[in-house]
Structure 1
């Protein structure tokens, strides 16, 4: 199982140097949670679990800069980059008035 505790991940949909959402992950056994903000996200959080193969399944909520409240679900598949960092390939769905679905990616940020 991959240990995500203490790792941070940045949304790859933003150019380098631009403010982008960054999540700070915590883990206890298979329990996963994170807080994130940046870019258009004022505050976000997720709660879910880590599967034995390192895949993630979680629910998320966030408040955007324009005041919109968003909730959804996500499934992430880890990929190890050549430099040892992790890339999370995400498949997500959003619920409510602005329901949507799609794919995105996050890459580990080393501090």
Structure 2
């Protein structure tokens, strides 16, 4: 599947409210994304895309509880019966956990806010 990812926005399958959303960018075979929302302040993904549209990347993300998660993934493109672009993500975190997630393209209006606009909680005095 020949896919151009630049400017596409993805969210977990079935678009649940409050889910993290990612804005993907592409130049040639280079891929990167910023994502946030829900339980995530923000995250970043960087990697490459092959001629089939499969993405191989690493990611890191900062959750609203202050935890950081990092790992690698391979995302394989597909389509729903309605023709919506999906990515089946086979992920492996640095802590050793693994899993499969499916994200789908959503309207660009759902793109995440820039990390520069996120208001973080101020540290409390001790």
State whether TM-score is above 0.5.
yes
Deviation at 1:74, TM superposition (A): 0.5
Bigger fraction of residues in helix: 2
2:104 corresponds to which residue? 107
Q: Where does the alignment leave 5 or more consecutive residues of structure 1 unmatched? A: none
Residues in 2 aligned to 1:65 and 1:58: alpha-carbon distance in whole angstroms: 23
TM-score by structure 1 length?
0.89
2:37 corresponds to which residue? 38
Residues in 2 aligned to 1:100 and 1:89: alpha-carbon distance in whole angstroms: 17
1:3 corresponds to which residue? 4
Deviation at 1:39, TM superposition (A): 1.2
Residues in 1 aligned to 2:19 and 2:104: alpha-carbon distance in whole angstroms: 12
| Deviation by residue 1:17-65 (Cα, 9 ceiling, x = unmatched) | x200100000000000000001111110000011111111100000011
Q: Where does the alignment leave 5 or more consecutive residues of structure 2 unmatched? A: 109-126
Bigger fraction of residues in strand: 1
Residues in 2 aligned to 1:41 and 1:104: alpha-carbon distance in whole angstroms: 16
- Answer with 1 or 2: which has the greater Rg: 2
TM-score by structure 2 length?
0.79
Deviation at 1:84, TM superposition (A): 3.1
